Amino acid sequence: MVQQASTHVHRRIALAIAVATVAAATLVVPARSSAQGNSLGRATSTCENAGGTLTMPGGGVIFECTFPSSINVLDILDSQPLRTLVRICFGPGHGSRFGPVVADNAVDCFEF
C-alpha cells in the first residue's frame, strides 16, 4: 500500500513537471515569433529604404535583399541600411553569415 502511494505521488510530480514545461514553452514561443516578425518587418523596411526588395527564398537563406540593376550592391556594401541588415541577420535573425551575392545583385542572410 505504501509503495502504491509512493508511485502515485511520483506520477503526480512527473505530471506537474510536464504541465509546467509545456506552459513555459507556450509562453516563450509567441515571444520569439513576435520578435522574429518585428525583425522581419524592420528588415523589409530597411531593404526597401535602400532601394531593394526583401524576400525569404528558403534553401538556407533567411532573407535576401535584392536590388534593381540601377543599384550595384558592391557600391553600397558600407551603407547604413546594409549595416542595419547585418545587425538584424546576426541578432534576431539568428544568421550565421551575411554577404553579397553578386550574381543576384543582392545581400543574403544565411542560416547555419
* Full 3-state SS string of 51-97: CCEEECCECCEEEEEECCCCCCHHHCCCCHHHHHHHHHHHCCCCCCE
Higher-pLDDT residue of 8, 38: 38
Ramachandran angles phi, psi of 79, nearest 5°:
-80, 160
- Inter-residue contact 48 to 54 (CB < 8 Å): yes
Q: What is the pLDDT of residues 36-64, one digit of tens each?
A: 568 889 999 999 999 999 999 999 999 99
Higher-pLDDT residue of 23, 86: 86
Report the predicted TM-score, pTM, of the whole model to 2 decimal places. 0.67
The per-residue pLDDT for 18 is: 38
Q: Band of the pLDDT at 8, cuts 50, 70, 90? A: low
How far apart (Å, rounded) are the C-alpha atoms in residues 47 and 82?
A: 8
Burial class (CB in 10 A: 0-12, 13-18, 19+), 87: middle
